[in-house]
Amino acid sequence: MATILITGSTTGLGKRTAELLLADGHQVVLHARNHGRAEQIQAELPQAAAVLSGDLSLISESKDLARQANDFGHFDAVIHNAGVYNTGTQARLTADGLSENFAVNVLAPYILSILINRPGRLIFLSSNMHGAGQHDLSDPHWQQRPLNGVSWNSAIAYSESKFYLTLLTMAFSRCCPEIICNAVDPGWVPTRMGGASAPDDLTLGCETQAWLATSDDPLALRSGGYFHHRRLQQPHGDVHNEALQQKLFNYCAELADIL
């Protein structure tokens, strides 16, 4: 039996992943954005070991979520499932002055991965959209554009955040060889984010991260992979740029005041 924390597990991919792992007899700790949602998911999945809460758009609450996780105990795996896709007409900034996409999709996984006491495995939910956009950290919060005459593009902003998340995966894999770190493209699945008309299967979109969190398959025990439906894929080549990995690490450390 493995003990696994899943962020953003009140709906969609996170909840379905939790259900798969619970059905296989694993100890699963859920995460909700606030106490109200925590109470709701605890009622829906009473077999969960615990429900932690925290708004991952805020640096202080991401740090507090790491504290809650450490108070619970050791985790065999952490699945960084939580994510946002800002479909508004402009970049949405958090109370910390950061792009919500970057804060939730990139900075929060960095904070949790650094501050949670050395889990055995880290799984980061990427996207097949991760290749688009700028990859140089020149404007991660969309405050210095326009890009080709456009000051905001929700799809490109999301894609950039998933590029940085995949870059972060490879950085942790390189810098923390004692932790198995992998990224997953779950596909375009029918969740609140993906929409009801999404063509891929929700359960199939969850199986890879559940497998990576628990399996002794030699492929699942490798680090630094990018998977889709349990098969290794080739991510964008820039995610292997070690100088860019270090730049992102340093930038996140500075933002979060983790030095």
Crossing angle for the helix pair 59-72 and 242-256, nearest 10 degrees?
Answer: 90
Q: List, for residues 112-130, the tens digit of each pLDDT value.
A: 999 999 999 999 999 999 9
Q: What is the pLDDT of residue 215?
A: 98
What proportion of the chain, given as a percentage, has pLDDT over 70? Answer: 93
Q: Are 188 and 201 in contact (CB under 8 A)?
A: no
Tell me the domain boundaries of the chain. Answer: 3-256
The whole-number average pLDDT for the span 209-238 is: 97
CA–CA separation, 80 vs 78, rounded Å? 6
pLDDT above 70 (res 197): no
Q: List, for residues 137-193, the tens digit of each pLDDT value.
A: 999 999 888 766 668 899 999 999 999 999 999 999 999 999 999 999 997 645 555
Which position among 15, 63, 85, 158 bears the catalytic label?
158
What proportion of the chain, given as a percentage, has pLDDT over 90? Answer: 85
Q: What is the pLDDT of residue 199?
A: 53
pLDDT above 60 (res 195): no
The whole-number average pLDDT for the span 224-230 is: 96
CA–CA separation, 125 vs 208, rounded Å? 10
Q: What is the pLDDT of residue 204?
A: 81
pLDDT above 60 (res 240): yes
Determine whether 158 is an active site residue: yes
Which residue is listed with tokens 């009473």? 46
Length of the chain: 259
Determine whether 63 is an active site residue: no
The whole-model pTM stands at 0.95
Distances (CA, A) of 84 to 9, 100, 103, 131, 211: 13, 8, 9, 17, 24
Which position among 63, 85, 110, 162 bears the catalytic label?
162
CATH superfamily of domain region 3-256 = NAD(P)-binding Rossmann-like Domain (3.40.50.720)
